[in-house]
Amino acid sequence: MKIAILTSGILPVPAVQGGAVETLTDFYLAYNERYRIHDITIYSVWHPDVIQHPALQSTVNHYKYIRTDRITDKLRRKIHHLLHSKDDYYHYTIEDYLAQAIKHLKQEQYDTIILENRPGYALKLKAITHAPLVYHLHNEKLTAAVEKAQAIYDAATTIICVSDYITNCVRTINSNDKKCVTVHNGIDLNAFNREQVTKPAITFASDDFVLIYSGRMTQEKGIMQLIEAMNMLSQYPNIKLMVIGSTFFANANNEDDFIKDLKAKANPLKDRIIFTGFIPYHEMPSYLAAAHVAVIPSVWDDPFPTTVLEAQAMGLPIIATKRGGIPEEVNQENAILLTTDKDLSQQLADAILYLYDHPEVRKSMSIASIRNSKQYSYRRYAEDFYNTLTKGNASNK
């Protein structure tokens, strides 16, 4: 098939600035490069770091970039905002990306157009193309509560959801839905393999018990409750915490008020809590290798965080919450799942202390994590993704 991919319009592909959606896009593009299944064109915002990226040498994946960095680009976006704001569905910066992509799409004939986490693009695309529109939903972008939900739903041929949780969100629009297919995310199991890490990124004392949090530094991720739990465990000096992440992916040095409050709460334990800032994706295995337990304390309905997949692939026991798609990623053998309707900070402290006191439980959970991770390879993810596309395209004919 000849396929076009429209990205989120914020971060570039390849994922040189990080981003879960962009990294997952890289995975299925890498699979296509290896097996040469489809002719794919990716419409992405531009970033200088993409220039030398080896992915651009592909003869089956073609990258078309939309510039946003020059003065003329910024002026164009402002003009778009002034002239089209009443017709726009997303923020004008995203809508300007879409407008530029549409100029290219009008000159081509595609068998399928994939919308990466931007189902609202369909409102304009359906007027300029008859190609089947496939939504790849990573978040709650399409529910009955979303503006113009029915029109957006009707415009889709196939809706690929990263978890059953997201699939059920879409089905609030149509309980008899036949468009949604759940395709769980995958990761590079060769990279996230403890045996492949020659040296952990950070060295701790041999008797330290190291926790790791990896994700955006935002309120809904539950990181504040984790810091509070660490304060509750202040009498255990060997319990350490690595906090990996920033406010928004590659914004390593951007500290908003929330992060300042977070660090103030962590200050009494400053020698036991390490804030690394943003870490490039390829370096994450070496940080996970330094930890004993991964904590994912989301207080929102996290759709299907790849941080869970990465941690369990590295053999880490998981402490997480029963929110969103997280329960789909783990099982009772490798994870302690907490509720968020009670005092989460105290629950976190109790779970951490339990694993600290029971190394034999940690060992069995570690084995279970590695075993469970085998179903989340990016190869399986890409195969399921492309099989869904093929079936959807066939049913449309």
CATH of the domain at 227: 3.40.50.2000
Count how many domains the chain has.
Answer: 2
349 lies in the same domain as 389: no
H-assigned helices in the chain? 20-35, 71-84, 92-105, 122-125, 149-155, 164-170, 223-232, 257-266, 284-288, 306-313, 326-329, 344-357, 359-373, 378-396
Together in a domain, 254 and 221 = yes
β-strand partners of 338: 321
Check residue 278 and give its pLDDT.
Answer: 86
Distance CA 17, CA 352 (A): 32
Residue 248 confidence (pLDDT): 55
Residues 213 and 352 occupy one common structural domain: yes
Q: Which pLDDT score, from 0 to 100, does residue 18 have?
A: 86
Measured between alpha carbons, how far is 145 from 172 in angstroms, rounded to an integer? 9
- Regarding whether 202 and 108 lie in a shared domain, the answer is no
Residues 148 and 231 in one domain: no
Q: Tell me how many degrees the CA angle 188-368-388 measures, rounded to the nearest 5.
A: 45
Same domain, 201 and 179: no
* CA atoms 390, 177, 304, 265: torsion sign: positive
The verdict on 155 and 214 lying in the same domain is no
Tokens of 166: 């997201």
138 and 80 within one domain: yes
Residues 231 and 123: their CA atoms lie apart, in Å, by 49
**Same domain as 140, residue 53:** yes
Average pLDDT for runs of 10 along the chain of length 397: 97 93 97 97 97 96 95 92 88 95 96 98 96 97 97 98 98 97 97 94 95 93 96 97 77 72 90 91 95 98 97 98 98 97 96 98 98 97 96 70
The C-alpha atoms of residue 199 and residue 14 are separated, in whole angstroms, by 27
Whole-number pLDDT of residue 99: 95
Model pLDDT, residue 86: 84
Q: Say yes or no: 57 and 114 in one domain.
A: yes
Query: What does pTM read for this prediction?
Result: 0.93
pLDDT of residue 118: 98
Say what the pLDDT of residue 394 is. Answer: 64
Query: Residue 323: which domain range?
Result: 194-375
Same domain, 237 and 256: yes
Rounded Cα distance, 47 and 178, in Å: 38
Phi, psi of 8 (to 5 degrees): -70, -15
pLDDT score of 335? 98
What is the enclosing helix (H) or strand (E) of 319? strand 318-321
Strand partners, 160: 136, 181
**Are residues 148 and 275 located together in one domain of the fold?**
no
